[in-house]
Amino acid sequence: MSNNKQQNATKPEDKKKEKEKDFKFQGYHYKAIEKRYHGKSYLEISTELSAEFNKAIRHQTVRRWFMRGGILESEYVDYCSKENDRRQKAMFQQMKKIVIKIPAKFDELLERQIYAKDKQTGEIVETGIKQCDMVTVQTLKLIVEMLGLKEAPKDGEDPLDAYFDRLESRHKNDADNESI
């Protein structure tokens, strides 16, 4: 009889999973997931879905969909995980494009000159004085620290490659840890 009680204890979870598999998601369910991911409230979601699908959807219903044990709970978690990974990869690709421009920007920022108006001609001319303010210096130091570029590069080695190699390995390790 104790075996029977143990089986009954796990059955509600199994029933829930079976119920989710049998449930037919509608277009408005997927729209609700997207809207929730983008920070919409239950009331906003219900109002927008009602208007879009010509169906009366109450905000309490939407709230129940997302609550623990709700029909959209696991779908929402999966969507968030996939969307966050996609966004991280897109950001990583954009960073690769931008980071190669940083050394030139550093030079440009450090080479800025103070310009002044010539009293005789009225023209704006270079003074020969470098304009390297503390904000620029601190920003550059912070960027160098964030990218891990403190060390001088070894001959023929691009420090940005080392940075992205570290970032890729960290991302790969995070993915491996999630699969365990």
- Its pTM stands at 0.49
User: Can you tell me the distance from the alpha carbon of 140 to that of 146, in angstroms, rounded to the nearest whole number?
Assistant: 10
Q: Are 113 and 129 in contact (CB under 8 A)?
A: yes
What is the pLDDT tens value at each position of the chain, 180 positions in all?
Answer: 445 555 555 555 555 555 555 678 888 999 999 999 999 999 999 999 999 999 999 999 999 999 999 999 999 999 999 999 999 888 888 877 777 777 677 667 666 667 777 788 888 877 766 666 667 667 777 776 666 655 555 555 655 566 666 666 766 666 666 655
Half-sphere exposure of 29 (CA within 13 A, CB side): 16
Q: Where are the domains of the chain?
A: 22-84, 103-147
User: Can you tell me the distance from the alpha carbon of 117 to that of 134, in angstroms, rounded to the nearest whole number?
Assistant: 24
